[in-house]
Amino acid sequence: MKLDNIYKEEKKSAFAKLSEIIFTMASRPSGLIGLSILVFHIILAFVSPYIAPHDFKAIDPTLMLQAPSAEYWFGTDDLGRDVFTRTILGGRTALTITFFGSLIALLWGGLLGIFCGLVGGKIDDVVMRIVDAFLSIPWILAMLLIVSLLGTSTEVLIPALGFFYGKGIVRVARAATHDVIAKDFIVSARARGHSNFSIIWNEIIPNVRDAILVEGAMRWSWMLLGFSSLSFLGFGVSPPTPDWGLMISNARGLMSFAYWAVIAPIVGLSSLIIGINLTADAFAKALGIDRSTKAPV
Amino acid sequence: MADIIQKVKNLSIGFRSKKGEEILILKNISTNIKKGETVGIVGESGSGKSTLALAMMGYVKHGLYTVGGECQFNSSNLLKLKGKDLEKIRGRKIAMIPQNAGQALTPNLKIGYQIDEALQLHSDLDEIQREKKISELLNKVRLPSPETIALRYPHELSGGQQQRVAVAMALAGTPDLLLLDEPTTGLDVTTQAHVLELLNFIAKDTGTSMVYVSHDLGAIAQVSDRIIVMYSGEIVLEGPSRDILKRPIHPYTHGLLKSIPKLSLAGLPESMPGSQPQPGIIQRGCSFFDRCSFSDENCKNNSPHLEFLKDLNTSVRCFNYEKLFKEGQVNQTVNKIKNKSQDKEILNLSEVSISYAKQKLLDHIFNRISDDNPTVKDININIKKGETIALVGESGSGKSTILKSIAGLLRTKDGLIRFDENRNLSSDLKERDPNDLRVIQLIFQNPDESLNPNHTVEEIIAQPLKLYFGLKGEELKKNIIDLLQKVRLGEFYTSRYPRQLSGGEKQRVAVARAFAAKPDIILCDEVTSALDVSVQAAVLNLLQQLKEDFGTTYIFVSHDLAVVRAISDRVAVLYQGRLCEVGPSNDVYKFPSHPYTEVLLGAVLEPDPDIKPKLVAEDIVEERPPEKGCSFQGRCSRIVGDICKKEIPPWQLTDSGNAIRCHIPIKELQKEQF
């Protein structure tokens, strides 16, 4: 029932709206857990260079594959490097690259989707078939091709990931636009003679923003997994920079007797992904676009 | 008493707000439904009428809960029953007919199968008996050739036929009580009259008790023996149908009857101020206090009880009902509107046709539309500056289509739209210059959809001001407040969102937005049909006032002939996208008429038990206009022969300047219709 907030509600500032949304998210256990994990990871990414107990690239053959101890909390890897240090540093690159990658995906996917939804007709048909064609290419093959042609620098990875993860957003944004496009306020704006740009900016975006943001948040966690897979395959971050995907790849052969070297990055990666997923879910619920609610009646 | 079949006792239903307060939707309702009687429950949206009807079959909507009281049926409280016990009653003893039968029927199952399902559940007949019963039921609801109907899918039936199937399904369990929730609201005027007549017949034939829930006093008047008027979750008036409609002794009902436009009266009825309060707002006093013209200090502080008046057999919730009792019958006064149109022509449609046909590749290349039988054809209307012209017809008559083309939202196939005697308007928005766009503005049917839910009232009204006049800052703000005052809304509305406004307030904002552009022509698409009855008259009065102040021309589209009668100077009647009759509204409402106008006028439901609808034609729905001849040939009861099927009828002028398109000479029409 939405009845009770009908009467008293004033126009709120963006900040007030945001804090209300975050408060609503945190009022659910799953939202609170998700948010705490996500915030923990973000803070860790900022402070880890200052709190890391050891040098992440210091190789010491005498310390190879040590079990966890008071000195090396998570043990050491096959080159004698401290796993704890590398684990807390290992999320930084992934987080940064995928965050900006998601922003790019959100931007181009969202705008293209809204545009297609608005203009419809032939342009929409052609663009959507191109998007479909791209969707049918396995992304990892395409990524490998791009990376091997252009290298693994951040300037290549961010736009490439942004491009491949934006395709799905095009569809979501287009569908959300179709929901509002038939409403009379759009017809009214058209009849007044507003430009397409003005209709998109003033009439459509405020109504589809929520759906696209939630989709973007989900994409972020998928992209994180995708990026770690690239690293795992050796096409993401180059050694000796610590990265979870890379660490898992290096340590997986020694798993039977040095499980600590692989468990730590796995926990790091999966907790971050779970955190983002839970947050995105809670975000959707707080905005009122929950797909799992009961049918009315 | 033995003949009471349902007893509602002190029923309260409510919900809990986010802050944990208990807010009541129904407040202490008590009433009895007797065997064989039809009770009409009437009220505006949010008055709790549907909640009451659902409670009568033991159902409380998700989010609501029973606060107290009971619904007794066969000496068991329905609201306490669970599972199997409830199943035995629902469908078998109490059946429900929903508002939208099209949505209530399963789209991929045949009609016969769906009725069979209901029979299997609610009767003990075997297969052969059931088959017989199906055609019996379909016959009873007067569907043509039951055997073929049973083999059809719901989408192959018209709205009226679907509603009949819903009635047949409800009757499958031979219920003692039939609940009808706005069963005719989505239907066309002529179909509505037919369905009501059917319901009357069934009530008499089967002796089933009916509870008829509706916002439409006209429909209620036709079917019910007793009327319950609800307001803000309370029963405010209950009594015999005739007394309530003729001599209502509650101010709300009194005002309501005064504010409904009638066919017999040309002009705008008085409007009732304000709107129904939201649940939980009224803490003290009578809930109708601030809208009542009979109220005093006592009403402000104390809430009246429902008082039973033995000699009138009526219950009323009002301290001052005696004043109204003395007043007697409702004297409806109307403000006659004067036709202030000038001779100057402002808009001219000549030979306009519009097609929805899919374009073929060749047509795309040559940028043309080829369709021999377009949806709208041969529309010739000239509209004078300052007049209100109404386009009238049932759904599918092309009235909204024409409006869209005038607004430039839909391309015409042929014909010219000329503005201000010399400017040709393209029917494509992109080819019109900004000033041509400014002079024509639209107001839509449903203000929920026409206002962006994420914009404040200020942002909504600012849009045309910014776009056409480039206003900014203080000046913009001043203009917005000015416009809000013109539509009788206060300055404090600027920061509100549409969801915080009532239906009438939303429509006022939409009106303000249209007037912000300082237009010459405003296209009104069913502007009052989504509004509550008590608010409708206020919006009509506002539109009329603004028109007089600004000299605007209105093109008014509506299916409601009484509303059209109230506001328009001239009326154009459309059937299947072809004009049937055009003339001054006084003359269109008088005979002689085009046979279709006659059907429409006959089907209008008035809130008066003495005026019964006249059912002249069959309620068939035609999907597309006939290829040749008169557009109305399929349903006309006055068809004169082959000529109607072959030749397009000529325009004939009556003495008063009314143009009728019919093969029958005016003189004969006049003889037959009088």
Whichever domain contains A58, its CATH number is 1.10.3720.10
Answer whether A4 sits within 8 Å of B408, measured CB to CB: no
Residues within 8 A of A (CB atoms), B 17-46 only: 17-19, 21, 23
Judged by average pLDDT, the poorest of A64-68, B120-124, B205-209, B246-250 is A64-68
Instruction: Determine the average pLDDT of the residues in B178-187.
Output: 86
Candidate from A4, A184, A194 with C-beta closest to B19:
A4
Q: So what's the ipTM on this one?
A: 0.79
CATH node for B4-93+177-327: 3.40.50.300
Instruction: Determine the average pLDDT of the residues in B149-164.
Output: 85
DSSP reduced 3-state for B544: helix
**B670: exposed, middle or buried (C-beta count within 10 Å: 0-12, 13-18, 19+)?**
middle
Top pLDDT among B544 and B17 is at: B544
Q: Where do the structural domains in chain B lie, given as residue ranges?
A: 4-93+177-327, 101-174, 345-568, 590-673
pLDDT digits (tens, 9 = 90+) for B604-632: 888 888 888 887 767 666 777 888 888 88
Domain contains A201: yes
Domain containing A107 equals 44-287
User: Bridge-partner residues for B73, per DSSP?
Assistant: B6, B76
Q: Which of A192, A194, A209, A289 to mutate to test the interface with B (most CBs of B within 10 A)?
A: A192
> How far apart are the C-alpha atoms of B117 and B129, rounded to whole Å?
13
CB atoms within 10 A of CB B390: 25
Res B87: pLDDT: 82
Q: How confident is the model at residue B441 (pLDDT cuts 50, 70, 90)?
A: very high
User: Bridge-partner residues for B553, per DSSP?
Assistant: B521
Distance from CA of B468 to the nearest CA of A (A): 9
pLDDT digits (tens, 9 = 90+) for B220-238: 998 999 999 999 888 999 9
Top pLDDT among A14 and B484 is at: B484
Residues within 8 A of A (CB atoms), B 454-493 only: 454-456, 463-464, 467-468
Candidate from A1, A189, A207 with C-beta closest to B63:
A1
Q: Rg (Cα) of chain B, in Å, rounded?
A: 26
Cα torsion for B161, B167, B169, B173, to the nearest 10°?
-160
Domains B4-93+177-327 and B345-568 share a fold: yes
Is the pLDDT confidence value at B368 over 80?
no
Chain A residue numbers touching B441 (CB-CB < 8 A) = 191-192
Is the pLDDT confidence value at B5 over 80?
yes
Q: At the topology level of CATH, where does B345-568 sit? A: Rossmann fold (3.40.50)
Is the pLDDT confidence value at B35 over 70?
yes
Between the CA of residue A219 and those of A123, A222, A227, A245, B543, what are the distances in Å?
A: 26, 5, 12, 18, 50
Domain contains A222: yes
Is the pLDDT confidence value at B523 over 90?
yes
Domain tally, chain A: 1
Nearest CA in chain B to A122: B364
| Residues in chain A with pLDDT values less than 50 | 1-9, 292-297
Res B443: pLDDT: 92
| Average model confidence (pLDDT) across chain B | 85
Domain contains A19: no
Domain contains A210: yes
Give the contacts of B310 (CB within 8 A, at least 6 positions apart): none
Candidate from A5, A183, A191 with C-beta closest to B408:
A191
pLDDT digits (tens, 9 = 90+) for B100-152: 777 888 888 888 899 998 888 888 888 888 988 898 888 888 887 788 888 88
Q: How confident is the model at residue B657 (pLDDT cuts 50, 70, 90)?
A: confident
Number of residues in chain B: 674
Q: How confident is the model at residue B582 (pLDDT cuts 50, 70, 90)?
A: very high
Q: Are B80 and B89 in contact (CB under 8 A)?
A: no
Res A297: pLDDT: 34
Q: Give the tokens for residue A89.
A: 């540093």
Judged by average pLDDT, the poorest of A7-16, B9-18, B167-176, B543-552 is A7-16
Res A105: pLDDT: 92
Give the contacts of A253 (CB within 8 A, at least 6 positions apart): none
Nearest to B524 by CA among B373, B406, B652, B650: B406
- DSSP, residue by residue, B328-361: -S----EEPPP----SSEEEEEEEEEE--PPPPH
Between the CA of residue B314 and those of A113, A160, B310, what are the distances in Å?
A: 61, 77, 7
Instruction: Determine the average pLDDT of the residues in B171-198.
Output: 86
Chain A residue numbers touching B463 (CB-CB < 8 A) = 189, 192, 194, 202
Top pLDDT among B477 and B534 is at: B477
